[in-house]
Amino acid sequence: MTDKTTEQTAQDENKLIAERRAKLEALRSKCKANGHPNDFRREHLAGDIKAAHGQKSQEELAAAGIRVSVAGRVMRRGGPFVGIQDSTDSIQVYMGKALQKDSEAWQLLDMGDIIAATGTLHLSGKGELYVEIADIADFRILTKSLRPLPDKFHGLADQEMKYRQRYVDLIINPETRKTFQIRSKIIESIRFFLSQRGFMEVETPMLQTIPGGASAKPFETHHNAMGIDMFLRIAPELYLKRLVVGGFDRVFEINRNFRNEGTSTRHNPEFTMIEFYQAYADYRDMMDLTEDMLRFLAESVLGTTTIQYGDSSYDFAAPFARISMVDAILKYNDGMDEAVLRDAENNIETLKEYARKVGIHLGPKEAGWGAGKLLCEIFEETAESKLDQPTFITEYPWEVSPLARRNDDNPFVTDRFEFFIGGRELANGFSELNDAEDQAERFRKQVEEKDAGDDEAMHYDADYVNALEYGLPPTAGEGIGVDRLVMLFTNSHTIKDVILFPHMKPVAE
């Protein structure tokens, strides 16, 4: 759009706003009202009216004389009919020509206004329910819309504006409303699923003196009264496991996390996760629970176990694949020696050659990477995006799993999995490390990496080690990205489409 066109559009909009402000003043003076009354109480919703009376004939409705009281936003106008939209559905309001002449409010009506109407329910010749107003006192403008809605045929075309002005997007676009209704239903169903299995919902601090539970750069802030620097939570994990130490065997939290990282189609600095922990369980139990949960969510939210995402179809009724990280690398890479990958600790130089071959940069910062980190980087570079169907990747090296329990048979790897679908990670879970001495050593390793320049490495959390010294029972835990889960269930291809108010740079003045 050229600057001249932009300027003309702004002028046109300002003219319309001025006209609507004049109508608001007329509404105040002619209708003897303040323009924003708050004494109307809606009695009926459009969706409920349609559910109760949508199957009745014209004759049945005419004979019944059903009176309803509705309210909503004006979305359509056509002669004596006005279409209004509430939170459940839309319905028409009808006022005859004779009454229109006497109704100042009707004459001052614009698209986008919020109105109230009381009248008798009828069925039009086109088969649509409508509310017929018989008295001008039964029609009122409750809120005057001073800004015109976008053209109904083109909607809110500017994608960035949809995110910045989500309120307009929700008014105009029924698909957007449906996305966030599904999101709400998913969260409600997660709560039900876990509560039915004995998990207790808890809350843990969002402001922390030591950020932990994930490898990520935190947001920093300062507490004035206490005179200390603090961090916004990057994960609730360490606090939830403190609760398991305290005797709550099954806990979960639907939590907001904050990570000081870039944005992408899959990343937002502020995001939602569900984390849950179960004593006397291992990572295999978590994989089973994940399958059960996703199957339950699909059935309860969408009414089917088949999920369509883009060109792919996923059958949640079938068992999910489970393969190790090394097996995944071998599956998607030719020319890599299986013996080298399975004995990675003794073949670091060969692993570096493999890493360079697949395009991984190994500069001074990467010089300290061990075999586990190299394996993980090769997997992420060459295999992760190819995991389209539901797949658990297991046996993550301990080097990239500072909170996971080592495998009893092969201490180079941990009892950990990540769940992938559509080529992206959706969940991360593992048998929890409950050896206080091993945890302390891994924290020290993380501190060394932080001192070497890795700003995503973990801090040393002495209190958490102290908690482990009191004894954490054998425990397994998991985190699932709620935003990515909603993307999957709503066939959305960017995370901004499933977050009501995604982070955006301020508009330049």
Binding residue ranges:
418, 425
Residues 6 or more apart whose CB falls under 8 angstroms from that of 23 comprise 108, 110, 144
Q: Which helix H or strand E contains 358, and what residues bound it? A: none
Binding site per annotation, positions for Mg(2+): 418, 425
Which contacts (CB < 8 Å, 24+ apart) does range 217-223 have?
217/259, 217/260, 217/261, 217/455, 217/456, 218/258, 218/259, 218/260, 219/258, 219/259, 219/260, 219/269
Taking the CB of residue 256, how many other CB atoms lie within 10 A of it? 14
Strand stretches in 281-435, DSSP E: 306-309, 312-315, 321-324, 391-394, 416-421, 424-431
Q: How far apart are CA 54 and CA 121, in angstroms?
A: 10
What is the distance of C-alpha 494 from the center of its chain? 11
Q: How far apart are CA 30 and CA 33, in angstroms?
A: 8
Task: Check if the beta carbon of residue 237 is closer than 8 Å to that of residue 212.
Answer: yes
Q: Which helix H or strand E contains 161, and what residues bound it? A: helix 159-164
